Amino acid sequence: MKIILRILFVCGIILSQVTAKGADAYVNALVLYQDGKYKKAYPIILAQAKKGNKEAQYLLGTMLEKGEGVAKNKQKAMYWYKQASSKFSYIREDNKKHKLKRDSSFSNRLKNQLKYSTSQKGANYAFTKVDLSTSAVKSKMMKILENSFGMQPYKTNYIVPFSYASTSYRRHFSAYLDSNIPVEWQDGVAYDSHIEAEMQLSFQKPLIYNLFGWHEYINFAYTQKFWWKIYDESAPFRETNYMPELFMILPTSDHMDKQYNLKGIKFGYRHHSNGQEGYKSRSWDRLYLESIWQWDNLFVSVQTWYRIPEDRKSEAFYQGIDPNDKGDDNPDILDYMGYGELTIKYLYGKSQINVMLRNNFNFKDNKGAVEVDWTTPFFNSENTYWYIRGFSGYGESLIDYNRYVNKISFGFAFSRGIF
C-alpha cells in the first residue's frame, strides 16, 4: 500500500499544476502524511486540492473518510473523491457557479471537438452522475477514469479456452441451404467436439462532447467475437461476429437522477454481421434506445431496438438456387433475438455479477435467452479476472441465431464494463 501511495505521490508532483513554491509545500505534506503527522499535512493538502491538484483531492477524500488529521466527514469525502475522479475542475457538486457554461455558438462548439480534451470532458461529466457512496463503485470508477488515452474498453474483453455446449454444432455452407446439403456430405456436417474456445475484443472511442450543449457525448464502439473449434482436428474458426456501433449518451438532469436514480439515456445505431457470403451470411442493422439506472452497487439497463428493414430476397434464394442474391439474410431474426434486453450488473466487493435477459414477448411461440457471468480478480490482479459464464437460449452467435444452446464457459477477462 505504501508503494502505491509513493507512486501516486510522485505522479502528483509531476502532473499537478502548481507553482514551484506550492510544489515544495506539497512534497513536504506528503512526507508528513507518510510519517503519520496528519494534522500538519492536512492544511497543505487541502490548499493544493482547492487549486485543482487531483492527487491531493483524492488524498484529501481519504483523510476525511478515515478521519486522518481531521474529523470524519463522509459527505465531504465523497465530494473530494468526485473532484479527483474528474480530470476537469469545472465539475462541481451542488455548486452552480462552477458548472460548465453553455457556449451559445454552435460553430465554437464544433471547433472545440478538434481538441482532445472535449472527449474526456464528456466521459468525465457522465461519470459524475454515478453515485460513489460505496467503496466498490468508487474503486471501479477510479480505475476507469485513470485511463488517459482515447481508446477505452466497452463490453467485457475476454479469452475463454474452455466453452462446452450441450449439443454439437453443425457446419454451414455458402453454396447450400442446410436442407439442400449433398447426401455425401451429411456425415461431416457436425463438428467433432462439443468444446470450443471463445474470444471477445471490445473497445470504444469518444468522438464528440457537448456539441449541442446538453453535456451529451458521442462514441464509436467496436466489438468482435470469435468461436474457435480449437479441439477439433483442423481447429477451424466456427464463427466470427462483427459489431460496430455509433451512439450518444445523454446524462439526465439532477432531478431525474436524485428522484428516480436514472443516470443517463443512450441511443444509437448498431450493425451486426458475420462477414460471410451466400447461405452462411447473417446480418442485421438496428436503432436502439437504452436507459441506465443505479442503486448503490446495482446497475440496471433496459434496451429496446428497432430493426432497419431490408428487402426480401428472391424465391430462387430460398429454393437453394441462387446463394448470392441480395437482400435480407435472416428475415425471422426478431423471432429469436426479440425486441430488447434487460441487463443487471452488481458489484460485490471485488467481484462482479452480470445477468442478461432477452425475449421476443410472443407467448404462443416464446423464445429468448438468459446469460449470467461472474468475474473476480485473478490472484488479486488489477486487470485480469477469472471469468465464468452460463448461457441458455437463442442468439448466442449469428450463424446459429435460430438454434437453442445451453453452454458453460471458463476463462479470463481483461476488462469489465458497467454501461
**Residue 34 confidence (pLDDT):** 77
Mean pLDDT value of segment 274-297: 94
3-state secondary structure 333-365: HHHHHCCEEEEEEEEECCEEEEEEEEECCCCCC
Inter-CA distances, 29 with 26, 35, 38, 59, Å: 5, 10, 9, 11
**Residue 278 confidence (pLDDT):** 87
The x, y and z cell numbers of residue 187, run together, are 456425415
DSSP symbols for 4-30: HHHHHHHHHHHH----HHHHHHHHHHH
pTM over 0.85: no
Mean pLDDT value of segment 352-366: 94
Summarize pLDDT for 63-116 with one digit per residue, the tens. 998 899 999 988 888 888 877 765 433 333 343 444 445 555 666 766 665 554
Q: Over 70: is that where the pLDDT of 20 sits?
A: no
Coil, helix or strand at residue 59 = helix
Looking at CATH, the fold of the domain delimited by 152-415 is given as Outer membrane phospholipase (ompla); Chain C (2.40.230)
Coil, helix or strand at residue 227 = strand
**Residue 79 confidence (pLDDT):** 85
Lowest mean pLDDT: which of 141-145, 238-242, 415-419?
141-145
Between residues 300 and 316, the one the model is more confident about:
300
Confidence category of residue 12, pLDDT binned at 50, 70, 90: very low
**Amino acid identity, position 388:** I
**Residue 59 confidence (pLDDT):** 86
The x, y and z cell numbers of residue 291, run together, are 436507459
- Rounded-to-integer distance, Cα 327 and Cα 311, Å: 5
Confidence category of residue 185, pLDDT binned at 50, 70, 90: low
Name the residue among 21, 20, 18, 24 with its Cα closest to residue 54: 18
Q: Over 70: is that where the pLDDT of 274 sits?
A: yes
**Residue 30 confidence (pLDDT):** 81
Between residues 54 and 301, the one the model is more confident about:
301
Domain-by-domain residue ranges, the chain? 2-85, 152-415
- Rounded-to-integer distance, Cα 360 and Cα 369, Å: 9
Summarize pLDDT for 302-335 with one digit per residue, the tens. 999 999 999 998 888 877 788 888 889 999 999 9
